[in-house]
Structure 1
Amino acid sequence: MTDTDIIKFIDFLKNQKNYSKLTVDSYLSDLKIFKKYIKNTNKINPHDIQLFISNQHKIGKNSKTIQRMLSSIRTFFNFKIQMEELDANPAIDLIIPKSGKHLPNTVNSFEIDKLLDFKPKTALDERDKAIMELFYSSGLRLSELSSLTLAQLDLSSALIKVTGKGNKQRIVPVGKYAIQSLKKWLLSRTQYEKKSMDEKTKQKLFLSQKGTPLSNRGIQLRLEYWAKKCNLSHKLHPHMLRHSFAVDMLTESGNLRAVQSLLGHSNLSTTQIYTQLDFSHLAKVYYNAHPRSTKKS
């Protein structure tokens, strides 16, 4: 296991697997820590990896972090096998330490109403309401929403094309209230367009007051602002609206596979965590299930 091996692996994750920078950086960090711990990097066996895991426990790493580190190591050795540089994966039979399931934080329906039923007074209010409506209407991740372009919107069909993790694309419905807010924002958006804009910026759906693409941090700050203004009892993070979307959809529909598809989860187990939040009713499809859907009057 050399530095060159790690560089080749990281290059593979970036260029072949299209992993995000955050994910790639996590792999790189984990492998550097592992390589530093292992004394004989020429021949690594399962016992070496087990000792490494035990060491990470001793120094206070939590189970979730160790899970990720072991997954990084396992994936690295699978890559070595794929490159025909290794015959067997020394990490394949090691047990990943179990971690307790962390239930997602959500926003209840009363607070959703407080947050979304305000009347915008300015163009930026229109933008912020469109952002919050879209988070809750379609269950988008923060990075998915901030990267949206005008071309990804199809308001006439009440659909939006989303680019998620690993550059995977999916099409999700957009609710009636979100469509109304988006249309109002699109009318106001023109005042923030500038002649000096490059083509990429011109296509961005959400712009700042300065006419630049609204960043992830900018969106987070606006949600914090509205949580205070609407007297919510807690801070508001973008993922809380995504979680609320998932919980409300599952509560009303009970269709785990459909919600998995809407959220863009690769594994059903990721979606299943929402089933622990007391679901009760059954419904047919998205438009009947979601409280702010297109087909509801």
Structure 2
Amino acid sequence: MKVTIDKYLRYLSVEKNASPHTITSYENDLLNFLDFCTHQFEKESDKIDLAQIDRLTIRLWLGNLSEEGLAKSSIARKVASLRSFFKYSFSRGYIQKNPAHLLVVPKKDKTLPKTTTPEDIQRMMDVVNTDTPKGKQSRAVLELFYATGIRLSELIGLDISHLDLHKKQITVLGKGNKQRIIPLGNRAYEALKDHLETKEKLFGSRTDNDALKAVFLAGNGQRMYARYAQRIVEKYLSKTSEVTQKSPHVLRHSFATHMLNNGADIRIIKEFLGHSNLSATQIYTHTSVERLKNVYEHAHPRAKTK
């Protein structure tokens, strides 16, 4: 089974052009299942035969995940990984029957995206000390997250060649390597321009050709990595907002929600966010409805029962 998993991961990378993040997620899910099978069949991982796996084995694994308290969303992702893997294995002739064919994906608990207020955003920008190259970069990172709604992976993947400062726009490489062009607001444009003027002062011992091309750098001069960008957001959002989550995704959610609240068409927001389906964007309409309900309850004299 381990050999087939390796082939499947290569297939995702080469033929499906999946992102490194997607491949890592699938690999973790499949190796987690393989580990369960080694205990279930009392065999070493390289001795597990793919043909041994049946629907009961998969159901036992899912039951075990549920007992461990794993969230429904995490279980749903693991089910999707397994279904995709066995579909591939069946289509390539590695198995005669697909044990995951009728596997039902558990419904995810619906949670509204966490957002912060425009006032908190402004305070967050104001507390950044832009007297240093590091501070200028931090301000540019925050402005870009909020001004464009781009994902964390898209921000750290930005190259200088993706910027068109003359037209005040950036080209983003999103999921499935799909490109989209996003305009820059004046504040994001100015912050990005200020950062690029002092970017060379952030070069360090690990600055290489990739770092020279990158828009943002980590502390040692290499291309900025995910955790470094997350720490920037956590640092400054913690100073000004009470939102429970303090991550780049909060700024992405806030971007979409604030755009919608101010009259932007949801189809335009979909293009900004790089969603392939409108259904993924519609969760922000629920956020706005909740806001309207709160305003109504506080403002209308007959909203509350006596």
Q: Fold conserved (TM > 0.5)?
A: yes
Q: Give the total of aligned pairs.
A: 279
1:176 aligns with 2:186: yes
Alpha-carbon distance in 2 for matches of 1:236, 1:55: 31
**1:13 counterpart letter in structure 2:** L
Task: Specify the alignment match of 1:116 in structure 2.
Answer: 125
Match of 1:74 among 63, 80, 83: 83
1:255 aligns with 2:285: no
Structure 1 window deviating more from structure 2 (130-139 vs 261-270): it is 261-270
Alpha-carbon distance in 2 for matches of 1:69, 1:136: 31
Deviation at residue 231 of structure 1 after TM alignment: 3.7
1:12 aligns with 2:8: no
Equivalent pair of 2:206/2:220 in contact (CA under 8 Å): no
1:268 aligns with 2:278: yes
Task: Using structure 2 for the length normalisation, give the TM-score.
Answer: 0.80
Deviation at residue 34 of structure 1 after TM alignment: 2.8
Task: Specify the alignment match of 1:126 in structure 2.
Answer: 136
Alpha-carbon distance in 2 for matches of 1:202, 1:171: 22
Equivalent pair of 1:254/1:279 in contact (CA under 8 Å): no
Structure 1 window deviating more from structure 2 (153-162 vs 30-39): it is 30-39
Alpha-carbon distance in 2 for matches of 1:146, 1:100: 30
Task: Specify the alignment match of 1:222 in structure 2.
Answer: 232
Task: Specify the alignment match of 2:152 in structure 1.
Answer: 142
TM-aligned CA distance change 1:254 to 1:187, over 3 Å: closer
Equivalent pair of 2:86/2:99 in contact (CA under 8 Å): yes
1:1-297 superposed matches below 5 A: 2-35=1-34, 36-37=36-37, 39=41, 41-86=50-95, 89-117=98-126, 120-193=130-203, 197-208=207-218, 210-228=220-238, 230-234=239-243, 236-253=246-263, 255-279=265-289
Alpha-carbon distance in 1 for matches of 2:227, 2:182: 24
TM-aligned CA distance change 1:276 to 1:202, over 3 Å: same
Alpha-carbon distance in 1 for matches of 2:206, 2:115: 40
Question: By percentage of residues, which structure has more helix?
Answer: 2
Identity of aligned residues (%): 35
* CA displacement, residues 203-232 of structure 1 (integer Å, 9 cap, x when unaligned): 11123465333332222222233235x543
Alpha-carbon distance in 2 for matches of 1:58, 1:250: 39
Deviation at residue 88 of structure 1 after TM alignment: 5.4
State the Cα RMSD in Å.
Answer: 2.8
Counterpart of 2:105 in 1: which secondary structure? Answer: coil
Structure 1 window deviating more from structure 2 (174-183 vs 24-33): it is 24-33
Equivalent pair of 1:150/1:205 in contact (CA under 8 Å): yes
Q: Structure 1: state its 5+ residue gaps.
A: 282-297
Deviation at residue 190 of structure 1 after TM alignment: 3.7
**1:74 counterpart letter in structure 2:** R
Task: Using structure 1 for the length normalisation, give the TM-score.
Answer: 0.82
Counterpart of 1:225 in 2: which secondary structure? Answer: helix
TM-aligned CA distance change 1:56 to 1:122, over 3 Å: closer
Alpha-carbon distance in 2 for matches of 1:57, 1:209: 40
Equivalent pair of 2:237/2:246 in contact (CA under 8 Å): yes
Alpha-carbon distance in 2 for matches of 1:58, 1:185: 49
TM-aligned CA distance change 1:44 to 1:215, over 3 Å: closer
Equivalent pair of 2:164/2:170 in contact (CA under 8 Å): yes
